[in-house]
Chain A
């Protein structure tokens, strides 16, 4: 804890000036030097996380000395530092949206009123959100700032989210109608498996085999158990196989990025 609050502001100001100066100097560097800095920074950053993971949490040396992982205490501060850097991009999205929708309104393009609605919604949400967080709760609108904010959040945002999510039900039906066609042997197996899984999920499907015992060898023929077997054994093995491939692929790409071996149009550009 700092003794004087003004010391904190000095540190913040010095940090901002320092980073601005660093960015200015980085901009002055030649392309080759920038590339070298990127390679070294990437390698050191990756090396930190590699060492942190592979170094044990506690290392017992010669039975009388225990050494804690020296890298673990820095994990959280580094994570917070990355969040702060990510915060620099806070306005990027807002600026991009403002430019696009502002241009629509300025040029009165088709549907410009939708862009106007965007600005009204964004400003209203920001205004009442900030008022609720930092201002007095009493408002001239007959409700508290918190109530208005919640009305906008729960009444508008959450409701619209739920509306979009509910579209999935209809799209699922159209996609299933297209997918479940008996065009080939594999498609037939797919339809059969989908039918069995669906029957195992709905009460009507379970009713067909409700007479079978719930325990013992015959219980395996109950629709819900068949569905669980298909999902948990047959389907799961395929899913895990795919996940293995994805995991190894991600590992290989991470290794290439860490060691600067990645190639391709995006990764070989000059800076």
Chain B
């Protein structure tokens, strides 16, 4: 199915999804109390930062191999939270990046975090390090950083590829506590076996809501869940229809198939 441009069904579906998310955001901002279940990986972030501070060893946060895209921006949100904690406790946060554009962005984000904690002079811009744009050169550089700097905690948030196991195993071997979260489903198994805490799937995009407890973000999370329920209902209905009806004989099924764009 060619998706260069949307058809009517896609347009209606997108309107429904966006309206759902916006409405739940508005209701959350009006004071509706929302519950979010405990996510162990995200709850462990504070404990992980505290452990590194007690040991007197630095922490390392990787925002993945992406440029300025959605997964990386989400990782930046988590990084800002970790940077604020690092600034509060007086610990070092090393941020290796694989995209030159991210150097300035990460530097600014960490500087803001130290400024918000009232310690701008303690910020170390040299801890934001561009390693390489090459995948395995970045992996080699980051593995070396983890071992040489003897980091106590590593945070692997963002989009990773084949180097994910190398990065996670380097931290595992150096004895660091590792928290990982990625939307790359192919890399999740590697993080699960090598990291202490792994954030899977849409928990990754719930991180900012979980850490900040902002009503806007919590409302958006509820909207996401309602959207998933709508999609699930569509799948179930479609499966039942496909099971009971032969497409080329039933005019209703033919109409539905044409509408969806098959």
Contact = CB atoms under 8 A, between A and B. Distances in A.
Interface string A88-119: 01111110110110010000000100000000
A111 B144 CA distance: 12
Interface stretch (A6-14, A161-169, A214-222, A223-231): A161-169
Chain B binding site: helix, strand, loop or mixed by DSSP? helix
18 contacts: A53-B6, A90-B100, A92-B103, A96-B103, A167-B166, A242-B200, A246-B201, A246-B202, A246-B205, A248-B17, A248-B228, A249-B201, A251-B17, A257-B70, A265-B113, A266-B79, A266-B112, A269-B108
Of the four ranges (under 10, 10 to 19, 20 to 34, 35 or more), the interface on chain B belongs to 35 or more
Interface stretch (B49-57, B188-196, B242-250, B252-260): B188-196
B27 interface: no
B190 A175 contact: yes
Contact of B74 (A90, A160, A253, A269): A253
Contacts of B103: 89, 92-93, 96
B60 interface: no
A263 B162 contact: no
Contacts of A165: 136, 162
A55 B129 contact: no
A175 B173 CA distance: 11
B90 interface: no
B224 A93 contact: no
Interface stretch (B18-26, B30-38, B39-47, B150-158): B18-26
Interface string B1-13: 0001111001100
A188 B139 CA distance: 32
Contacts, number: 184
B217 interface: yes
A244 B103 CA distance: 31
Contacts of B74: 253
A265 B84 contact: yes
A257 B4 CA distance: 23
B18 A256 contact: no
A174 B21 contact: no
A179 B188 CA distance: 13
Given A92-B103, A164-B140, A239 B112 contact: no
Given A242-B201, A255-B21, A266 B224 contact: no
Given A92-B130, A171-B165, A254-B70, A53 B5 contact: yes
A105 to B, nearest CB: 15
B104 A164 contact: no
A250 B71 contact: yes
Nearest to B20: A252
